[in-house]
Amino acid sequence: MASEIVTSLEYLAARLEDPQAQIYQYLYRQHPEVRPLFVLDTDGGVRGAMLQTTIETILDYAAQDRLDHVSLSAWRSHHVAYEVDPELFTRFFVIIRDCVKDTLGHQWTAAMDLAWLDLLRQVEASENG
Ligand code: HEM
């Protein structure tokens, strides 16, 4: 089931030359208030590392069929210092899903939808520790 997530990410990579630009465009459109948080990241390096860690978390979830709550909670706590609350932190996963879904268009399947919903539910559940 979770392998559907991997397939959807492979399609994304095949379709977009620069998924990072697209994903951050989605983030800024839905949450314009976070743009100033990245003002010191002039070369996009921090945003690249952040996206990479998030994708690794997703791929690890797909491989293990479970979320690494410990490491995710640690990242979530780190973000309190950046004024990113736990709900906003979770939104990054939702934004990636939205970007994949819109980009895939007719290639997006019901199985992918369910697999992503499962993941998002678990990420949300980890907000409380
Ligand atoms: C919308 C949600 C999020 C916002 C607004 C956000 C914001 C930020 C900010 C402001 C920084 C620090 C920038 C700086 O050092 O100048 C940062 C760093 C980072 N974030 Fe996020 N974050 C979000 C979600 C996530 C998620 C879900 C993950 C991973 C699961 C993540 C992983 C990281 C990592 C690894 C760094 C450090 C990168 C580095 O310094 O090399 N972030 N984030």
Residue nearest to atom 13 of ligand 1 (CA): 38
Q: How confident is the model at residue 111 (pLDDT cuts 50, 70, 90)?
A: very high
- pLDDT tens readout for residues 55-76: 999 999 999 989 999 999 999 9
- pLDDT tens readout for residues 22-38: 999 999 999 999 999 99
Distance from C-alpha of 108 to C-alpha of 101, rounded to nearest angstrom: 6
Q: How many CA atoms lie within 13 A of 57 on its CB side?
A: 24
Ligand 1 center–CA 53 separation, angstroms: 9
pLDDT at 128: 80
Residue nearest to atom 17 of ligand 1 (CA): 50
pLDDT at 1: 81
Looking at residue 66, what DSSP letter applies?
A: S
Unique residue bearing structure tokens 């994903």:
23
- Residues with CB under 6 Å of ligand 1 are 27, 34, 37-38, 40-41, 46, 49-50, 53-54, 57, 75, 79, 82, 84, 88-89, 91-92
Q: How confident is the model at residue 42 (pLDDT cuts 50, 70, 90)?
A: very high
Neighbours of 23 (CB within 10 A): 23
Q: Give the global pTM.
A: 0.96
Query: Does residue 127 contact residue 86 with C-beta atoms inside 8 Å?
Result: yes
pLDDT at 85 over 80: yes
**Per-chain mean pLDDT for the chain:** 95
pLDDT at 129: 66
